Amino acid sequence: MSKVAQKKPVPAKMTPPRSGNSPAKRALRRIEPYIWIAPSVILMAVFILIPILSVFQMSLSDVSKAGKIKGFNGLGNFIKVVKGSAFGLVLQNTLVWTIAVVVLSTVLGFVLALILNNKFRGRKVARAIVVFPWATTLVIQASVWNFIINTDYGTLNTLLMKLGIIKQAVNWTPTPEAYFAWEIACGIFVTIPFVTFCVLSGLQSIDTTYYEAATVDGANYWQKLFKITLPLVKSSLTVSTVLNIIYVFNSFPIIWTMTKGDPANHTDTLVTYLYKLAFYNGRQGEAAAVSVIGFLILLVCASVYMIYTLRKGDDN
Amino acid sequence: MNDNAAKKPFSIQKTVLRILLYFVVIDVCIITLYPYFAMFCTALKSRAEIFSPHGTILPVTALWSNFIDIWSRAPMANYLLNSILIAGGSTIIAMLCGIPAAYALARMRFKGQTAFLGFVIVSQMFAPVVLLIGIYQVMLRLGLTDSLLGLIFINAAFNQAFTIWLLRGTFMGISAEMEQAATIDGCNRLQSMTRVLLPVAAPGIVTTLIFIFINAWNEYTVALCLISTDTNKPLTVGINIFNGYNMIEWQYLFAASIFAIIPVVILFMCIEKNLVSGLASGGVKG
Amino acid sequence: MKKTLALLLALVMTLALVACGGNDDKPADNSNTQTDANTPAPSTPDPAPEAPAGEKIDISVIASQYGQNTNKWWADFQEAFNKEHENINLTVEVVSWNDIYTVVNTRISGNTAPDILNIDVFADYQADGLLLPAKDYVSEETYAKMYPAFLEQSNIDGTIWAIPDLASARAMYYNKDILDAAGVEVPTTWDELKAACEKLKAYDSSIYPWGIDMTTDEGQAAFAYYIWNNGGDFTDADGNWTLNSDANVEAIEYAIDLVNSGLTNSDPANETRYTLQDLFGAGKLAMMIGPNSIPTYIAEGGSTINYAFAPIPTNGGNPSVSAGVMDRFMCFDNGHSPEKLEAIKTFFDYFYEDARYSDWVLMEGFLPATSAGGEIVAKADESMAPWVDIVGSCKFYPTAKAEWADVKQGVINVEQQALLGGSVRELLDALQSDIAG
């Protein structure tokens, strides 16, 4: 990407391609793509790459509690983090959280997109309603859920009691696992709209003649779904899934608002754990090490997933 | 006769499916709306009623004044305007940088293409929470702390991956023939892109726009650390004023949150029309 | 289609332009931004507002948001102060407690620490040599106003590094009506407390007898209430950590037993003090330990319960100990000129002027940290008088010790592990060896 630096002035108007065979034109053709991606590269380099580099630097440094870098620490931070008693539990939680939220919301979001792609009365309203959870800040969304499921003043208990379904207030979160399940449910709730709209936008670009031809050939609904719909929305589904894995893995507000990882790290994921390390315990070096570990896990998972799906795409 | 007999069960099946469809759609809507219903009702209650031992669903007396009080208790108008500026500005910058990049990836072949796509994905792999300190240092160098412009750049950068990947897919799904024809007619690449490709790709572009807008609208963590002046805060950060040291004012928090949702829903409903019309025109090929 | 899209783009573009226009400090140029992130950033102070900065001395303050009125109070303060001191330009930034550690640490890492910070902790900043000794930035007469015991809380190696801005103390609150109806006397010892809880539970099982908060929010407070009232402490007289002393183990086992016997709120690991206060105000919780600000809170919430407060129950013959929480002002060593230090002294003199200071304390129902302030507050508000006495004699967290942040998180973790069935003794042993090495 070093070529970005050697920008050349873009000619005001390109001559028709037939005359573009002189060496100067050829050189321009070689450089042209880099000019097109330059703004994007600069934007990401300045505002994302530099901060990422400083995280790597911190993870290898001895950082004081107030956040001053005191010197090089090798892999000391990593060793300390991995040896920590809660780390295994937190890692396990992170995997459960990511897999549960991504898989369930992808399946449910996909089904919902199929449903909303039908023509029916009130479709516009339904589509607008589905976008609600996504249009709400996660902090607020999580506060509302916390408020709803509260044992003592939660509206879920009130509602069920008024409906006569339960007689006494139910404690919806008797164990840490139950709390974690609610957090996952909340995560799924806010992720579904994202998947649904990725798939919907894919569905809308499918040419209806494919289906007409298939109907003539006598294909049933499921055959059409698996032979036409799925392959054609696969590219938008792949993108949404990869990004979802990343977003959900790194999701912070839901868990932070609902439990802060309590009790005793039982609902912590890597991100909430490292946030506490950095800003509550004042161990920013270790926190940076946790984020590098999380990054490596994501890198491996996302690469494997993408290589797998892209290769399958090439076979077709 | 045979024909009719075969048709009849088919239409019953169709009716059942229709009913099932409505059943599912209505259920989904109810579940989705329930938190907002709870939020709205709570926003109308007094604090005493929220925690009263005899829980109520609808407020006993609706305190519409809660919706008015928040405007005097916090600079809500500033928050709202800031949120709109940040989300709008982020969208425009993300698109201005993302469309050319996606175009290059879809229409040109160059060395480092795969590496660039990989870099785009990798750039997303750190949560903003993790990068806070680094981001703050960069902003300090640029003199962009406590400024909306800084937040606009950050949001645009964090949405590049999504923009590029989605638009690249959209562009690749559109045949290049028309653009080539335009080039022969004397258009340069920029012209052929803006005049030929972008109008055809409109539905995909609109989808991307919504995604970026909503993501920027909802961003919380970075805004929290970068913005220090109260009147520069976006809604997401600003309404924290109701979440103080001694108490959480649920009724105000929720009333303010409802104001935060409305603009996004309105925007979405406007654009939804375009999604449908894009489909109806049938200009896009799979 | 094209038209609508163009319109949309135009709209967004206008918005972006407005956004840019609203900023005085535009980015220089993207080309010179690819500087190395590893070199320390130059310590450029926050861009000053348009005022002719040539003559004026800038003072930046980060203050904690104590409640709904804090922002307004500081805004008024800033305006009045700047009007009276023409050569000083004071800017106060109020940050909520949820976020203040994140904000402050981010600033310190970016080498833009505020001149003055109002927060609860200070030892970490002192350990990095970021702070100035209190004597350098507080005038003699203002310094003399503070309770000596409070100043001692900020003593590291014989130097006072921070000054108290306010305090709060804790006591046991009880709902008179519920206790009367159940025929329960106000408990003073742990045995009486447990018996009272059992009686309350038998009287009405829908009311929680006792409130406990062991969350990440403030779990260390619960730890302090029980160990201090069992004769235990975080450290011994020499300042060595004694987290796993017998008295501490017994105290936490007692608290956990209350939870396991079903005598408390249902989920102490996730229900914060705010939730407890709300339950208490709604008459669903009979007794809880809380700060002196609870009456303000209950009155503002429109609750009508009949309640009073009493000393925290203790075990056996131990004297009842109230837990004090004290927040501080500290001054960062940003290489101030002598003129600037004088300006900072002026700031503190102005802040601690008796009338203004007692107004500050009363604003959110806190307790004063100066003796003159104490007298005024006690006179102004009779209900505060007993609290002014309590705060003079309560214990504080060992916040001057460098390990405090780890201890605080550690004891919360111990409590939560114990709630899940862990052995208090083993957990505290492990924490002790972790902290003391």
Is residue A189 included in any domain, yes or no? yes
Is residue A76 included in any domain, yes or no? no
Q: Can you give the pLDDT at residue B91? A: 95
Is residue C225 included in any domain, yes or no? yes
- C190 in the same domain as C62: no
Residue burial A21-51, b: 16+ Cβ < 10 Å; e: rest: eeeeeeebeebbbbbbbbbbbbbbbbbbbbb
CATH number reported for the structural domain that contains residue C186 in this entry = 3.40.190.10
- B145 in the same domain as B10: no
Is residue A78 included in any domain, yes or no? no
Taking any CB pair shorter than 8 Å as contact, residues of chain A touching chain C are 42, 45-46, 50-51, 53-54, 57, 64-68, 150-153, 171, 173-174, 176, 179, 259-266, 276, 278-282, 284
- C194 in the same domain as C152: no
Q: Can you give the pLDDT at residue B258? A: 86
Q: Can you give the pLDDT at residue A132? A: 84
- A215 in the same domain as A95: yes
CATH number reported for the structural domain that contains residue B221 in this entry = 1.10.3720.10
What tens digit of pLDDT does each residue of A187-221 get? 999 999 888 887 887 777 677 788 888 888 888 88
- C410 in the same domain as C277: yes
- A101 in the same domain as A246: yes
What tens digit of pLDDT does each residue of C16-71 get? 433 333 333 333 333 333 333 343 444 444 444 444 445 789 999 999 888 778 88
Task: Select the more confidently predicted residue: C313 or A12.
Answer: C313
Q: C touches which chains (3+ CB pairs under 8 A)?
A: A, B
> Among the listed ranges A17-21, B264-268, C395-399, which one has the minimum average pLDDT value?
A17-21
Is residue B56 included in any domain, yes or no? no
Whose tokens are 């709803």? That residue is A148
Query: Which CA distances in Å does C195 have to C20, C184, C191, C261, C278?
Result: 66, 9, 6, 12, 24
Is residue A185 included in any domain, yes or no? yes
C8: pLDDT confidence band, cut at 50, 70 and 90? very low
- A298 in the same domain as A164: yes
- A122 in the same domain as A14: no
Is residue B218 included in any domain, yes or no? yes
> Among the listed ranges A22-31, C247-256, C271-280, which one has the minimum average pLDDT value?
A22-31
- B155 in the same domain as B37: no
Q: Mean of the pLDDT values across residues C217-233?
A: 91
Task: Select the more confidently predicted residue: A119 or A90.
Answer: A90
Q: Can you give the pLDDT at residue C363? A: 81
Q: Can you give the pLDDT at residue B9? A: 54
- A217 in the same domain as A143: yes
Of the candidates A45, A266, A281, the beta carbon closest to that of C34 is on A45
Q: Mean of the pLDDT values across residues C286-297?
A: 88
Is residue B9 included in any domain, yes or no? yes
Report C:96-125 residues touching A (Cβ under 8 A).
101-102, 105-106, 108-109, 124-125
- A99 in the same domain as A26: no
- A34 in the same domain as A115: no
Task: Answer whether A36's CB lies under 8 Å from B103's CB.
Answer: yes
DSSP string for C62-123: EEEE-STTHHHHHHHHHHHHHHH-TTEEEEEEEEETTTHHHHHHHHHHTT---SEEEES--H
Task: Select the more confidently predicted residue: B23 or B13.
Answer: B23
Task: Select the more confidently predicted residue: C6 or A146.
Answer: A146
Is residue C36 included in any domain, yes or no? no
- C214 in the same domain as C358: no
What tens digit of pLDDT does each residue of B225-255 get? 788 777 888 988 888 777 655 567 788 888 8
Spatial separation of the C-alpha atoms in residues A161 and A169, rounded to whole Å = 8
Q: Can you give the pLDDT at residue B278? A: 43
Is residue B231 included in any domain, yes or no? yes
Q: Can you give the pLDDT at residue A24? A: 80
Spatial separation of the C-alpha atoms in residues B97 and B157, rounded to whole Å = 9
Is residue B60 included in any domain, yes or no? no
Q: Can you give the pLDDT at residue A19? A: 46
Would the CB atoms of C127 and A66 count as touching at under 8 Å? yes
The structural domain count of chain B equals: 2
Q: Can you give the pLDDT at residue B153? A: 95
The structural domain count of chain C equals: 2
CB atoms within 10 A of CB A61: 21
A282: pLDDT confidence band, cut at 50, 70 and 90? confident
Instruction: For chain A, say whether C396 makes contact (Cβ under 8 Å).
Output: no
Task: Select the more confidently predicted residue: C1 or C150.
Answer: C150
- A231 in the same domain as A274: yes
- Mean pLDDT for chain A overall: 82
A21: pLDDT confidence band, cut at 50, 70 and 90? low
Would the CB atoms of B152 and C16 count as touching at under 8 Å? yes
Range of the domain at A54: 2-59
Query: Which CA distances in Å does C65 have to B63, C108, C123?
Result: 27, 19, 21
- A160 in the same domain as A46: no
- B194 in the same domain as B92: yes
Asked whether the predicted pLDDT for residue C106 surpasses 80, the reply is yes
Q: Can you give the pLDDT at residue C416? A: 93
Sort out which chain B residues have CB atoms less than 8 A from C103's CB and list them: 224-225, 228
What tens digit of pLDDT does each residue of C335-362 get? 889 999 999 999 999 999 988 998 888 8
ipTM: 0.81
Q: Can you give the pLDDT at residue B274? A: 62
Range of the domain at C209: 170-321+400-436
Would the CB atoms of B57 and A162 count as touching at under 8 Å? yes
- C280 in the same domain as C175: yes
Instruction: For chain C, say whether B148 makes contact (Cβ under 8 Å).
Output: yes
Minimal CA–CA distance to A132: which of A216, A54, A194, A65?
A194
Is residue A73 included in any domain, yes or no? no
Is residue C49 included in any domain, yes or no? no
- C302 in the same domain as C338: no
Among A180-189, A237-246, C143-152, C368-377, top mean pLDDT goes to A180-189
Residue among C36, C218, C270, C407 with most chain A CBs within 10 A, to mutate: C270
Spatial separation of the C-alpha atoms in residues A56 and A67, rounded to whole Å = 15
- A165 in the same domain as A256: yes
Q: Can you give the pLDDT at residue B272? A: 67
Q: Can you give the pLDDT at residue A205? A: 67
Is residue B62 included in any domain, yes or no? no
Range of the domain at B208: 68-281
Q: Can you give the pLDDT at residue C359? A: 87
- A88 in the same domain as A55: no
- C312 in the same domain as C340: no
Of the candidates C23, C281, C296, the beta carbon closest to that of B149 is on C23
- C296 in the same domain as C163: no
Q: Mean of the pLDDT values across residues B259-274?
A: 76
Task: Answer whether C167's CB lies under 8 Å from C366's CB.
Answer: yes
Residue of A nearest to C403 (CA): A281
Q: Using the Cα atoms of residue C107, residue C111, residue C115 and residue C117 in order, give the sign of their dihedral.
A: positive
Of the candidates C4, C71, C93, the beta carbon closest to that of B274 is on C4
Would the CB atoms of C270 and A263 count as touching at under 8 Å? yes
- C330 in the same domain as C231: no
- B128 in the same domain as B237: yes
CATH number reported for the structural domain that contains residue A165 in this entry = 1.10.3720.10
Q: Can you give the pLDDT at residue B149? A: 93
What tens digit of pLDDT does each residue of B102-153 get? 999 988 888 888 888 888 888 888 888 888 878 888 888 888 878 899 999 9
B23, amino acid identity: F
| Nearest-CA distance C274 → chain B (Å) | 6
Residue of B nearest to C96 (CA): B244
- C175 in the same domain as C162: no
Sort out which chain C residues have CB atoms less than 8 A from A286's CB and list them: none
Asked whether the predicted pLDDT for residue C127 surpasses 90, the reply is no
- C331 in the same domain as C258: no
What tens digit of pLDDT does each residue of C382-422 get? 777 788 777 766 888 988 888 888 899 999 999 999 999 99
- B20 in the same domain as B133: no
- B17 in the same domain as B149: no
Helices within C205-337 (DSSP H only):
219-228, 246-260, 273-281, 294-300
Is residue A77 included in any domain, yes or no? no
Among A3-17, A26-40, A204-218, top mean pLDDT goes to A26-40
Query: Which CA distances in Å does C300 have to C271, C306, C361?
Result: 21, 15, 17
Is residue A116 included in any domain, yes or no? yes
- B228 in the same domain as B91: yes
Is residue B250 included in any domain, yes or no? yes
- C312 in the same domain as C179: yes
Sort out which chain A residues have CB atoms less than 8 A from B28's CB and list them: 112, 115, 126, 129-130
Greatest alpha-carbon span in chain A: 86
Is residue C3 included in any domain, yes or no? no
- B135 in the same domain as B259: yes
Is residue C275 included in any domain, yes or no? yes
Residue among C2, C3, C5 with most chain B CBs within 10 A, to mutate: C5
Among A259-273, B45-59, B129-143, B197-211, top mean pLDDT goes to A259-273
**pTM exceeding 0.90:** no
Q: Mean of the pLDDT values across residues B51-63?
A: 77
The structural domain count of chain A equals: 2
Tokens of B85: 């500026």
Would the CB atoms of A67 and C37 count as touching at under 8 Å? no
> Among the listed ranges A9-13, C124-128, C200-204, C314-318, which one has the minimum average pLDDT value?
A9-13
Spatial separation of the C-alpha atoms in residues B145 and C99, rounded to whole Å = 17
What tens digit of pLDDT does each residue of A132-171 get? 888 788 888 888 898 888 888 888 888 888 888 888 888 8
Residue C352 phi/psi, 5-degree rounding, is -90, 5
Sort out which chain A residues have CB atoms less than 8 A from B176's CB and list them: none
What tens digit of pLDDT does each residue of C143-194 get? 998 888 888 889 988 899 999 998 888 999 999 999 999 999 999 999 999 9
Spatial separation of the C-alpha atoms in residues B143 and B30, rounded to whole Å = 47
Q: Mean of the pLDDT values across residues B245-270?
A: 79
Sort out which chain B residues have CB atoms less than 8 A from C7's CB and list them: none
Is residue B61 included in any domain, yes or no? no
